[in-house]
Amino acid sequence: MIRVRSHLRVEKSAPASNSRVFVYNPPYMKRIAILLVVFLAAAFVYLSLGEIESIVQTLRQGNIWFLGLAILIQCGWFVMSGIIYLSLYRILGMDGTIQKMTLMSAAANFVNVIAPSAGMGGMAVFISNAKRNGQSPGKVTVVSMLFILLDYLAFLCVLTLALIILIRRNDLRPSEITASIVMLAIAIGLGSLLYLGSKSAEALGNALARMARLVNRIAKPFLHHDYLSETRAYEFADEMAKDLQSLPERYRSLMQPLGYALANKALMMSILLVSFLSFEVPFSVGTIIGGFAISYLFLIVSPTPSGIGIVEGIMPLSLVSLRVPWSQAVIITLAYRGITFWLPLSVGAVALRILDRKV
């Protein structure tokens, strides 16, 4: 091997052949990706300056001790997310630390917000780490899909309680029913992919290939070439299926991470409860469950990243339907979103930088 200018290398394919292949050094591509993420993050924050200013002014009016407690609970949410990932890693025969999983979870959340791609952007954080540590990208993909599925299942439990509360109060509206159906469809679709993989690598490969064809059909007029490889879809499905087929023998082990996912939802509802306490707004258990469930539901089905602009409009309306005065509902919404959206976004940016420095 002969090194050329530090970022190119020349490889000889065979002694009898003088053909040479120039290979670009991967770190340069990584730097470009990081610069793109930074640019997107800066643009996202710039476009949201008005909301950030409103949140800061709102938080100044709250009880500082309760707001501090809400931030502490949010920190617990970060750690619990890391614990969920760690438990799924261990189920699939991989290992890690809570600290590392927490950092990667926060970084993945950040990437998903500033570069929304149905969770694939955040998944890339884990896949990249797996490649660096010699782990199977297929296993890590299974972990990421299981994490999303368990998160949806945990939320569906909360959503069921919320719908019962809204029905009893005669406050259930068509928009909430429609969003619930969309949410259920997403969960069923993801669960179906995992089920296919547990039964047959070929069936999963066919499903992923059809999805790749659909994406290519949409992207081709703009890119003038295929964006996704159907061949790679079958190879990736084969990697995933080997691990998915072992899950039915250990399905009971998924109860533990599902319990952690439920605990994560309880932490988020606790932040909403503390927000009410911070601004001395009266509430009931039904108000907390219903308000959280409706806001989180539209966060999931919203076309905007993490429901930005949508949740801020829907959540006050849902709180008003739960007998919270409009002015107080707006204050609670701004405080809650400041702690559960903007704080994790900031922490995620720092986590991504820390992970980058450790490479």
Q: For 56-108, how does the pLDDT look when each residue is reduced to its tens digit (9 = 90+)?
A: 677 778 889 999 999 999 999 999 999 999 999 988 888 889 999 999 999 98
For residues 262 and 151, the answer to whether their CB atoms sit within 8 Å is no
Output 33 or 70, whichever has higher pLDDT: 70
* Torsion angle (degrees, nearest 10) of CA 213, 109, 299, 62: -170
190 token code pair = 């993801």
- For the ranges 181-185, 186-190, 259-263, the maximum mean pLDDT occurs at 259-263
Q: What is the pLDDT of residue 275?
A: 93
Q: What percent of the chain has pLDDT over 70?
A: 70
pLDDT at site 243: 65
- Give the pLDDT score at 51: 58
Say how many C-beta atoms besides its own lie within 10 A of residue 253's C-beta: 14
Per the model's pLDDT, the better-predicted residue between 25 and 160 turns out to be 160
What per-residue confidence (pLDDT) applies to 92?
84
Residue 225: predicted pLDDT = 62
Beta strands 20-24 and 2-4: pairing type?
Answer: unpaired
Give the up-direction half-sphere exposure of residue 311: CA atoms within 13 A in the CB hemisphere.
27
What the block records as the tokens of 18 is 């003088």
Rg (CA), the chain: 23
Question: For the ranges 21-35, 151-165, 206-220, 258-272, which has the lowest average pLDDT?
Answer: 21-35
274 neighbors 163 (Cβ within 8 angstroms): no
Quickly state the pLDDT bin for 1 (edges 50, 70, 90).
very low
What pTM did the predictor assign? 0.76
DSSP state of 123: H
- pLDDT per position as a tens digit, 322-347: 888 988 888 899 899 889 988 898 89
Q: Residue 26's pLDDT is what?
A: 45
Region 189-211: mean pLDDT is: 72
The pLDDT mean for the chain works out to 76
Longest dimension (CA), the chain: 82
pLDDT at residue 104, rounded to an integer = 93
Predicted pLDDT of residue 50: 58
Predicted confidence at residue 17, as pLDDT, reads: 39
Task: Enumerate the domain spans of the chain.
Answer: 25-358
